Amino acid sequence: MDIRSQIAMVFHLDKCIGCHTCSIACKNIWTDRKGAEYMWWNNVETKPGTGYPTKWEDQEIYKGGWEKNGDTVSLKGAGKFKGLKNIFHNPHLPVLDDYYEPWTYKYQDLFTAPEGNDQPTARPVSLVTGEHVDVQSGPNWDDDLGGSPDYARQDVNLDKLTAAEQEAMFQLERMTFFYLPRICNHCLNPACVASCPSGAIYKRGEDGIVLINQQRCRAWRMCVTACPYKKTYYNWHTGKSEKCVLCYPRLESGQAPACFHSCVGRIRYLGPLLYDADKIEQAAAAPEDQLVDAQMDIYLDPFDPEIIRQAKENGIADSTIEAAQRSPVWKFVKEWKLALPLHPEFRTLPNLFYVPALLPTMAKVNDGVYDSTGKSLWNGVESNRLPMRYLASLFSAGNTEKIVAVMKRLMAVRTHRRSVTVGDTSREEAAAALEEAGIDADTADAIFRLTSLATFDERFVIPAAHREESIEMLESTADVKGSTGFGFKERPQRGL
C-alpha cells in the first residue's frame, strides 16, 4: 500500500443556481490577461447541452482520456510519441470556434459618437483581433436552453438513450435542465500529465494538485488534446498551456479556492482524501460497469488505525490525517455514497465528485399536469423527468444502478425531513423510504445538515500546508511505454 493525500471536491448539483459567480471569481483572479481571454478555468454549463468547448464530451471528436488495453490503459489520442505524428496538424485539438471568440464592446463609442438622429451603440469587437465580430456563441451560450434543438438535442449523452426516452425527455411538459459547473478534476491518473513531451505538467506531492511548469512548457499542446474534460488551455500570447491551479496560494494560507469561496449556492465542498496509489492502474483499467466501484476502492478509511499508521510512515502529517477525518468529501463520496465522478469512462480517476441533481427529476407529473394530490409526495425514480440512463451516462459510465441508488438516498432524506418539519409525509412513509435507500434517520439528518446548514468550516476542510513533508510524485519519471500519468511501472520517488 502506498498511501497519499489528495485534495478532493464535491459539487452538489441540486444547489447550483447557475449564477456564474464562480466563473467570474476565477476569471478576475487568473485569466483576465492577454491570451487567456477565452479561458474559463471554471465554467458552468446547462445540461442537457453541448458545453464548453462545444461537445467536449465526445471523444470521437477530441480523442481525450485513456482507453483500456487489457489490464492497463493507454492514451486515446495524444501521447508523448503518439502525438508527435500530429505535430504540424492536430485534427483533435479544439479551435477557437469550439470555445468562442472572446469579445468586448466599444464602450468609448457611446461617448465619442457624433451627434445624430440615432442612439449610439457599443459594437462588439474581438479581444483577439480587435475587429468587429458578429457574435455567434459564448462559453455559456446555451444557458437555460434545456430543450433547444441546437444545444440540448446535440448533447452527446443522448446517444445512450432510446428514441422513446429522447422523445419523452423533450416533451414540453417534461422538459427540464440543471447546471453543471466544471473545473479541472486534479485527477489521480491525469492524461494531461502523461501526454506532455516536456514533462512540464506534474501532480504536486503534498495534495495532488496538477500544475503546469510555465518554464518547461514548450507549446506542444498535447495536454489540451489529452485532457478529456478540456481543462487545459493554450495561451496564444505566451505560447504556453495553462490550467486551473485550484488557487493553491489560497489553499496554502488556509483559504478555499476563489470559486468555492464565492459560490452563492454553497454547492461546493473541499477536503482531503487518503488513497492507495498502488491501486491506480488497476482502477483505471477496470471494466466499464465497475469503474465507479474501482475508483471508490482507492480511497482509504482515515479512521482505520492501520491506515493511519501507514499514512504516517509514508510522511503524511497528523494534521492532514485529521483533516481527512473531518473531510466533507469523505462523507459525501465514501460514507454516504451520494457523490459520483463525472464521466469515469475517461479513466483519469477525477477527484471532483457530483451529487446528481434530484430536483428536476422528482416533480410528480400525471398526464402532463403537476400532481400534488397523490398519496406520496413524489413518484418513484423510474418515472423521473430525466431518464436515469442520461444521468448514468454523465456520472457512472452507464451504470444506472449507481444513479438509482443515489436518487433513492436523496429522496429518502427529503421524505424523512418533510415528515419531521412539514408533516405532509407520514413517519411510516419516511421510514419505508429510508429502509429502501439503506440509510437510517441519523444518517439522513447528517446528510441534511451538511447539505443545507453546513458552516464555512464544515464545507472546506483545508489541511495546514506541510511542504517540508511532501511526497513528490515525479511524473517526469512516468513510464513512457505504458504512457501512464502516474508512473505505475516505476515506483515514484519519495521525499523532496
Residue 188 binds ligand SF4, judged by CB under 6 A: no
- Which of residues 217 and 412 has its CB atom nearest to ligand SF4 in the complex? 217
Which of 189-197, 281-289, 375-383, 466-474 is the region at the interface with ligand SF4 (rule: CB under 6 A)? Answer: 189-197
- Which of residues 230 and 408 has its CB atom nearest to ligand SF4 in the complex? 230
Residue 185 binds ligand SF4, judged by CB under 6 A: yes
Q: How far is the CB of 482 from ligand SF4 (least distance, A)?
A: 17
Query: Of 23, 19, 450, whose CA–CA distance to 260 is shortest?
Result: 23
CB 76 within 8 A of CB 485: no
* SS3 at position 44: strand
Q: How far is the CB of 343 from ligand SF4 (least distance, A)?
A: 10
Q: Which amino acid is at 49?
A: G
- Which of residues 259 and 317 has its CB atom nearest to ligand SF4 in the complex? 259
Q: Which amino acid is at 393?
A: S
Q: How far is the CB of 273 from ligand SF4 (least distance, A)?
A: 15
Q: Kindly write out the interface string for residues 276-315 of this chain, putting x where it contacts ligand SF4 by CB under 6 A and - elsewhere.
A: ----------------------------------------
Q: CA dist 227 to 194, 280, 397, Å?
A: 10, 17, 17
* Omega before 48 within 30 of 0, i.e. cis: yes
Which of 124-132, 182-190, 320-328, 422-430 is the region at the interface with ligand SF4 (rule: CB under 6 A)? Answer: 182-190
CB 388 within 8 A of CB 408: no
Residues 6+ apart with CB under 8 A from 197: 80, 83, 84, 218, 220, 222
- Residues 91-150, interacting with ligand SF4 (CB under 6 A): none
Query: Of 141, 230, 150, 143, whose CA–CA distance to 182 is shortest?
Result: 230
Question: What does the DSSP 8-state code read for residue 63?
Answer: -
- Which of residues 352 and 381 has its CB atom nearest to ligand SF4 in the complex? 352
- Which of residues 79 and 190 has its CB atom nearest to ligand SF4 in the complex? 190
Q: Kindly write out the interface string for residues 340-379 of this chain, putting x where it contacts ligand SF4 by CB under 6 A and - elsewhere.
A: --------x-------------------------------
Distance, in Å, from the CA atom of 248 to the CA atom of 258, rounded to the nearest integer, reads 10
Return the residue of 83, 181, 257, 344 that touches ligand SF4, per CB under 6 A. Answer: 181
- Residues 4-63, interacting with ligand SF4 (CB under 6 A): 16-22, 44
Cell of 111: 461617448
Which of 181-189, 320-328, 380-388, 418-426 is the region at the interface with ligand SF4 (rule: CB under 6 A)? Answer: 181-189
Distance, in Å, from the CA atom of 50 to the CA atom of 55, rounded to the nearest integer, reads 5
Residue 73 binds ligand SF4, judged by CB under 6 A: no
- Which of residues 265 and 463 has its CB atom nearest to ligand SF4 in the complex? 265
- Which of residues 263 and 292 has its CB atom nearest to ligand SF4 in the complex? 263
CB 430 within 8 A of CB 416: yes
Tell me whether residue 481 is exposed, middle or buried, using C-beta atoms within 10 angstroms of its C-beta: 0 to 12, 13 to 18, 19 or more: exposed
* SS3 at position 243: strand
Other beta carbons less than 10 A from residue 214's beta carbon: 12
Q: How far is the CB of 41 from ligand SF4 (least distance, A)?
A: 10
- Which of residues 265 and 344 has its CB atom nearest to ligand SF4 in the complex? 265
Q: How far is the CB of 363 from ligand SF4 (least distance, A)?
A: 21
Question: Interior CA angle at 404 toward 399 and 410, to 5°?
Answer: 135
CA torsion 152-140-292-350 (nearest 10°) is 160
Size of the site for ligand SF4 (CB under 6 A): 28
- Which of residues 187 and 471 has its CB atom nearest to ligand SF4 in the complex? 187
Backbone angles phi, psi at 276, to 5 degrees: -105, 105
CB 99 within 8 A of CB 139: yes
Q: How far is the CB of 85 from ligand SF4 (least distance, A)?
A: 21
Q: How far is the CB of 160 from ligand SF4 (least distance, A)?
A: 22
Residue 190 binds ligand SF4, judged by CB under 6 A: yes
Q: How far is the CB of 168 from ligand SF4 (least distance, A)?
A: 27
Q: How far is the CB of 241 from ligand SF4 (least distance, A)?
A: 9
Distance, in Å, from the CA atom of 35 to the CA atom of 409, rounded to the nearest integer, reads 45
Distance, in Å, from the CA atom of 241 to the CA atom of 202, rounded to the nearest integer, reads 13
- Residues 239-268, interacting with ligand SF4 (CB under 6 A): 243, 263-265, 267
Residue 210 binds ligand SF4, judged by CB under 6 A: yes
Distance, in Å, from the CA atom of 278 to the CA atom of 266, rounded to the nearest integer, reads 34
Using CB under 6 A as the criterion, which residues of the chain lie in contact with ligand SF4 when the complex forms? Answer: 16-22, 44, 179, 181, 184-187, 190-192, 210, 227, 229, 231-232, 243, 263-265, 267, 348
